[in-house]
Structure formats: C-alpha cells, structure tokens
C-alpha cells in the first residue's frame, strides 16, 4: 500500500489522496448526513456513556477526549456503518464535554481499495499508527518518558527500542479516519 507520513511524524502514516471519482462527493455527503443524525443524541456525553461509549483516559489533559464503543469497534472489522462510529470525540468546555467529531476504524489488513469503499480517499485520508516503541512494562503511565516512548516518542527504529528496553509494535489499532461533521467547510469536516 502506498502511504505518506503526516507532517513527517514517523509514527503516523496516511493513505495517499486520490483524484475524485464519479459519485465520491455524493457518497461523502450521504455519510456525513447519516453521521450527523446519529451523533445528535450524543451531544450530551452522558447519553454516549449510557450507550456504551467509554471515556478513554478522561483524567489526562487531551485536545480531544475519545469516548470509545467496543461494540462499534468490533463491528467495524467486518463492515462500515456511517451511523456507528468507533469513537466520539469531545472537547472539554466549561466543566463538561462538547461533541466535536467521530472516528471510524478499519482492520490493519485493509487495502486502499477497501478503505476507499468505506469513505472515498478523494475526500478523507485514513491513517494508521506505526513503528511504536512501547515503554517497558516496569514503567507505569505516570513514570514513562513519553518523549521517548509511544505515539509522540522519539524512538523510531526497532533496534533503538530494544536498546531502551521497550517493546516494538509495527502497527497499532488498525486504520482510522477522523471526521468533524459540524465543521464549516470540507477542509474542517474532512481534515487532510
């Protein structure tokens, strides 16, 4: 699969944008309309929790807080349903959460063609997290040096990871795409 790196981040690779094919814009608009309707009830984050969207690390400072549905994540391995995102994205605002986006996932083994069938690659860029050095098990999330380990870490080769006592992971979580359906234009809705 041909991929390109986002902003030269060695831990994130994305699909290469395609030229628009007939029907891509229409398909993207359909996905967006279904997603907006399905997300409407989750503007109250408590409803998302009640429906099985579990907050991921809610006590840590994050740009976006992921509320993940294990049920939707599992189903996404087999089919794409624009009304059932894997995660809802929230921003903290005035002591509560404001719904801003959604994340869809696909299997690690998905091809560009399969990703394009889900959401046109002329509209959205799928990404995957790769080449991660996970901190040694003896370190907790409080003591790990995240400047070296994890998604933002500086360790980018398997050899350097072994030397640091970490565990090398060539690909984590599979493919993902983020959509901000309440954006004001296609560039903010479908970030490239």
Domain that holds residue 81: 3-127+175-189
CB 42 within 8 A of CB 58: no
> 167 in a domain, yes or no?
no
> 106 in a domain, yes or no?
yes
Q: Is the pTM of this model over 0.85?
A: no
> 144 in a domain, yes or no?
no
Number of structural domains the chain divides into: 1
Residue 142 pLDDT: 57
Q: What's the pLDDT tens digit per position in 98-155?
A: 999 999 999 999 999 999 999 999 999 998 888 888 887 765 555 567 788 877 788 8
> 170 in a domain, yes or no?
no
> 164 in a domain, yes or no?
no
> 150 in a domain, yes or no?
no
């Amino acid at each position: 699969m041909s991929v390109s790196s986002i902003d030269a981040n060695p831990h994130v690779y994305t699909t290469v944008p395609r030229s628009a094919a007939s029907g891509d814009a229409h398909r993207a608009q359909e996905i967006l309309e279904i997603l907006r309707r399905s997300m409407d009830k989750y503007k109250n984050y408590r409803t998302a929790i009640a429906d099985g969207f579990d907050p991921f690390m809610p006590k840590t400072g994050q740009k976006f807080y992921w509320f993940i549905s294990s049920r939707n994540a599992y189903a996404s391995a087999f089919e794409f349903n624009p009304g059932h995102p894997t995660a809802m994205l929230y921003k903290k605002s005035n002591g509560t959460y404001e719904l801003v986006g959604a994340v869809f996932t696909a299997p690690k083994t998905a091809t560009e063609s399969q990703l394009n069938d889900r959401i046109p690659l002329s509209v959205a860029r799928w990404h995957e997290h790769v080449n991660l050095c996970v901190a040694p098990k003896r370190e907790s999330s409080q003591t790990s040096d995240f400047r070296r380990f994890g998604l933002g870490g500086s360790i980018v080769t398997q050899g350097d990871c072994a030397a640091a006592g970490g565990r090398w992971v060539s690909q984590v979580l599979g493919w993902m795409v983020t959509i901000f359906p309440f954006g004001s234009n296609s560039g903010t809705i479908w970030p490239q």
